[in-house]
């Protein structure tokens, strides 16, 4: 193979371009490593370029995910860890007579989603400032979704136990999180599906449906386990 002759003046520019391209691709992962958990999602504009990248649709398959949630036009839905609203805005369009609550703990994300909802004319979308241990929903919902958010919860069993009180009768909790594939969540933060199921069982849920169509994430929908009667528990 013959390498093209590079003129010396071209070299620094080539390196600069290469560096910029690498930095752009690595920015989210680098941010995760450098900033740590607490400061990760402050810059909503920057994260929007990652979360709302149109190329994401190819592997995230949002339309198929929303179909799998089996929503009704009047369903009430909570998107927990909604960030810039990739799912929240699509969910709001899927339930025109219902209501969607996008919950995040980062004030910038909460502001960003509120403005996005207004800009996109989604009167049924409400942006909520949650607490790390409580989504602070103003009313109970039919479906909750956590997309790449479950692994951010610190007391996962405690949080999920608390979520039960925000579920309407027949309600469900859908969890989508990264499996061991390139990109996305840091490898050290990933949680094996078996562990998620065990944690959800301890929080009082059983598996309702499991979907295998997402190439990089698992997708499990849970429903509350029937409460045991006092005599069964003894
Ligand atoms: C990787 S992002 C997920 C983005 C979004 N779900 C999507 O699919 O585009 C995780 C989000 O969860 C939020 N988060 C972390 N802990 C949370 C908690 N306890 N309650 C609500 N949101 C939380 C973060 O601030 C961040 O915006």
Phi, psi of 218 (to 5 degrees): -95, 160
Locate all alpha helices (DSSP H) within 78-223, ordered by sequence: 86-94, 107-119, 156-163, 193-202
The domain total for the chain is 1
From 83, 103, 154, 157, give the residue whose CB has the most ligand 1 atoms within 8 Å, as the site to mutate: 83
Task: Confirm whether 34 is domain-assigned.
Answer: no
How far apart, in whole angstroms, are the C-alpha atoms of residue 130 and residue 140? 14
Task: Confirm whether 26 is domain-assigned.
Answer: no
Task: Confirm whether 8 is domain-assigned.
Answer: no
Beta strand pairing call for 217-224 and 167-178: antiparallel
Closest Cα to atom 18, ligand 1: which residue?
132
Task: Confirm whether 35 is domain-assigned.
Answer: no
Range of the domain at 162: 57-232
Instruction: Give, for all 234 residues of the chain, the pLDDT tens digit.
Output: 333 333 444 334 443 443 333 334 334 444 443 344 444 788 999 999 999 999 999 999 999 999 999 999 999 999 999 999 999 999 999 999 999 999 999 999 999 999 999 999 999 999 999 999 999 999 999 999 999 999 999 999 999 999 999 999 999 999 999 886 555 556 666 788 889 999 999 999 999 999 999 999 999 999 999 876 655 544
Task: Confirm whether 171 is domain-assigned.
Answer: yes
Task: Confirm whether 68 is domain-assigned.
Answer: yes
Which ligand 1 atom lies nearest to the CA of residue 135?
20
Task: Confirm whether 75 is domain-assigned.
Answer: yes
Task: Confirm whether 42 is domain-assigned.
Answer: no
Instruction: Tell how far the Cα of 234 is from the centroid of ligand 1, in angstroms.
Output: 39
CATH of the domain at 112: 3.40.50.150
């Amino acid at each position: 193979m013959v390498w093209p002759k590079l003129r010396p003046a071209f070299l620094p520019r080539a390196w600069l371009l290469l560096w910029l391209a690498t930095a752009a691709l690595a920015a989210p992962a680098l941010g995760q490593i450098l900033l740590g958990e607490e400061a990760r999602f402050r810059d909503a504009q920057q994260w929007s370029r990652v979360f709302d990248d149109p190329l994401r649709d190819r592997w995230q398959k949002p339309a198929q995910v929303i179909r799998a949630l089996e929503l009704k036009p009047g369903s009430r839905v909570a998107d927990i860890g909604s960030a810039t609203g990739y799912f929240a805005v699509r969910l709001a369009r899927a339930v025109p007579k219902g209501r969607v609550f996008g919950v995040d703990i980062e004030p910038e994300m909460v502001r960003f989603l509120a403005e996005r909802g207004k800009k996109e004319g989604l009167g049924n979308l409400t942006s909520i400032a949650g607490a790390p241990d409580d989504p602070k929903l103003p009313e109970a919902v039919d479906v909750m979704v956590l997309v790449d958010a479950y692994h951010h919860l610190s007391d996962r069993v405690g949080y999920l136990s608390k979520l039960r009180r925000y579920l309407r009768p027949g309600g469900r909790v859908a969890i989508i999180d990264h499996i061991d594939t390139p990109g996305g969540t840091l490898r050290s933060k990933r949680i094996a599906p078996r562990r998620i199921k065990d944690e959800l069982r301890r929080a009082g849920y059983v598996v309702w449906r499991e979907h295998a169509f997402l190439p990089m994430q698992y997708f499990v929908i849970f429903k509350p386990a029937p409460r045991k009667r006092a005599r069964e528990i003894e």
